[in-house]
Amino acid sequence: MYQSSYYRVSDDWFAFIFLTRPVKREYKMKKKIVHIVESFGSGVLSYLSDLVSGLADDYDITILYGERQQTPKNINDYFPSNVKLIKINNFTRNINPVKDIRATLEIRGLLRKIDPDIIHLHSSKAGVLGRLIHYKKHQKVFYTPHGYAFLNEADSKIKHLIYYDAEKILGFRNIETIACSKSEYLSSLKVTKHSKYINNSINTHKLDTFFSDDSNTQDVVFTVGRIDEQKNPLLFNEIAELMPNMKFIWFGDGNQRSLLTANNIKVTGWLPREELLQKTQKYKYFILTSKWEGLPISLLEAMYFKKICFVTNVAGNKDTIIDKVDGYCFDTTKQFLEDFESRDVGLGLAAHKKIQKEFSRERMLGEYIETYERHNND
């Protein structure tokens, strides 16, 4: 049977062309995440450092931040080298119309240049300014309050209403709030229907470097954080005055430092994180006298370090401590004194185990990745 040589030659020729053509390699671009944070210090910084460090290999991450008194000078050391940090010069904690407008314009310009896929706003100020910006359709935006500003009992009624109304109005935008505790989630439901919660967590592997399981710790009561209305230094001072033979230490600083007048209180000022973690290993008791919280990183760390923890029975604290199971929650000074007198040293170990089980960084990272990816594929 006759077979055309033309078809044989043609088939061989096309096969040759197909097999020898250059292979185009497909490189998947990393999704871009921009974190915007005004309150860049203390617990929020620790939380963001752990979150970003865990995601930096899989995402292209930029942080737009405001500088506070407690913001470390070596801020770059808190993050992997491939994370970009950009300071927003006009970020301020308090309401300042001129600077707030300038900060919003500065942020908007940077977002246009970076063109991120995911934008995550942190703290009330960044949450308000960030939600005023118009975003592209493909961009997914999230907001974590880290303690709503409208819960601040020290603010005037007018200021309280301004923050509450701002959250309520901006809560109508299709921007999901990711609360950092169950209590904060319940507060968020008052101002938005778009909400969920992912508990703050800590990088226990990093903390193991400083962990000293020494039974010879000193009978000293300490706390960590900003000395301001939220942390309630008046109550801290009152308790110290009622226990004149006990030494109290406040690691931190703030605008209400002058309220700590008891002779047995030492205030250290802001310390480098490594020095702070080393010093707190020496002491046995941790106290948090806050009026409200998001979910305090300092408490999670103290629990992991097996400290016996005493905390006020308020949002954030009560999400973490179960009274007389892994620490103590108190409503009054009298109750604190009674709990301290009858304290159970075994609660420190229970607290340590709880952190390992419920507040590990791996668990938090998994929940954030699921949230970011689910929304990014909507």
pLDDT at 73: 87
The pLDDT value recorded for residue 376 is 56
Residue 193 lies in a domain: yes
**Are residues 211 and 325 part of one domain?**
yes
Question: Does 48 map to a domain?
Answer: yes
pTM, two decimal places: 0.84
217 and 134 in a common domain: no
Q: Are residues 116 and 92 in the same domain?
A: yes
- Can you tell me the distance from the alpha carbon of 350 to that of 358, in angstroms, rounded to the nearest whole number? 12
**22 falls within a domain:** no
Query: Has residue 5 got a pLDDT over 70?
Result: no
pLDDT in tens, 239-252: 999 999 999 999 99
The answer as to whether 223 is a domain residue is: yes
Note whether residue 256 is domain-resident: yes
Count of Cβ atoms closer than 10 Å to residue 248 Cβ = 23
Q: What is residue 153's predicted lDDT score, i.e. its pLDDT?
A: 67
Place of tokens 């921009």: 34
Got the DSSP string for 320-337?
A: TPPBTTTBEEESSHHHHH
Query: Which CATH number fits the domain that encloses residue 164?
Result: 3.40.50.2000
Q: How many other β-carbons are positioned within 10 Å of the β-carbon of residue 138?
A: 10
Q: Does 341 lie in the same domain as 278?
A: yes
Asked if residues 197 and 216 have their Cβ atoms less than 8 Å apart, the reply is no
- pLDDT-derived band at 40, boundaries 50, 70, 90: confident
User: What domain count does the chain have?
Assistant: 2
∠ at Cα 198 (317, 204), nearest 5°? 75
- From the number of C-beta atoms within 10 Å of its C-beta (0-12, 13-18, 19+), residue 323 rates as middle
Query: Are 338 and 246 contained in the same domain?
Result: yes
Q: What range defines the domain where residue 290 resides?
A: 205-358
Give tens-digit pLDDT for 291-318: 989 899 999 999 999 999 999 999 899 9
φ/ψ (deg, to 5) at 83: -95, 130
What is residue 216's predicted lDDT score, i.e. its pLDDT? 80
Cα distance between residue 220 and residue 218, in whole Å? 6
Token couple for 154 = 């020290």
Residue 122 has a pLDDT of 96
80-102 pLDDT per residue, tens: 999 999 999 999 888 789 999 99
Co-location of 283 and 370 in the same domain = no
Q: What is the pLDDT of residue 16?
A: 45
What is the percent of the chain with per-residue pLDDT over 90, rounded to a whole number? 75
Residue 302: the pLDDT is 98
pLDDT for the residue 152: 74
Residue 25 within a domain: no
104 has pLDDT over 60: yes
Least confident of 150-154, 201-205, 294-298: 150-154
- Flag whether 10 is in a domain: no
291 shares a domain with 157 = no
Q: Are residues 132 and 94 in the same domain?
A: yes
User: Are residues 158 and 56 both part of a single domain?
Assistant: yes
Check residues 129 and 150 and name the one with the higher pLDDT. 129
Mean per-residue pLDDT of the chain: 90
Q: Are 340 and 310 in contact (CB under 8 A)?
A: yes
Specify if 58 maps to a domain: yes
Q: What totals of helices (H) and strands (E) does the chain contain, helices first?
A: 13, 13
